[in-house]
Amino acid sequence: MTLALSPRPDSALTLAQVRLIAENDLRTALTTQPHIANVEIFGGYEPALRVEFDPLQLAHYRISPAQLQELIARLDRDYPAGISQGADGLTTWRCAACRSATA
């Protein structure tokens, strides 16, 4: 069986976000079914960088997700970093910062 996924025309989701939802939520939901052995995700846009954090480890070090985002932003890069789903909806994460390159 092949399923094709795309955001609704009036949706704010990007193809990269749809791919992440397919890789995380849909794959997990399907592979836990007794008669499904494997799920392949292909097509769409793959993120250049994915940061998966452990909320318990962040709490242990007293770092909030927002502080982690700020720390990553200091890396002098601009990458799509993925999405997270919270009570108020999806949040797109980007690692974005600019600084001069001096040796």
Q: Point out which residues pair with 85 in neighbouring strands.
A: 90
Q: Is residue 95 part of a domain?
A: yes
Give the tens place of pLDDT for each residue, 15-70.
888 888 888 899 889 989 988 888 888 776 665 667 788 999 999 999 998 898 88
Give residue 103's pLDDT: 37
Q: Is residue 8 part of a domain?
A: no
Residues 56, 36: one domain?
Answer: no
Number of folded domains in the chain? 2
For residue 17, give its domain range. 13-46
Position 74 confidence tier, pLDDT thresholds 50, 70, 90? confident
Give residue 72's pLDDT: 78
Residues 35, 84: one domain?
Answer: no
Residues 42, 53: one domain?
Answer: no
Residues 94, 53: one domain?
Answer: yes
Q: Is residue 40 part of a domain?
A: yes
Which residues have a Cβ under 8 Å from the Cβ of 76 and sit 6 or more positions away? 97, 98, 99, 101
Alpha-carbon gap, residue 85 to 60, rounded angstroms: 21
**Per mean pLDDT, which range of 45-54, 73-82, 83-92 is the poorest?**
73-82
Residues 38, 52: one domain?
Answer: no
Give residue 61's pLDDT: 92
Q: Is residue 2 part of a domain?
A: no
Residues 73, 39: one domain?
Answer: no
Nearest Cα to 3, choosing from 40, 51, 58, 54? 40
Where would I find the H helices in 8-100? 15-21, 27-31, 55-60, 65-73
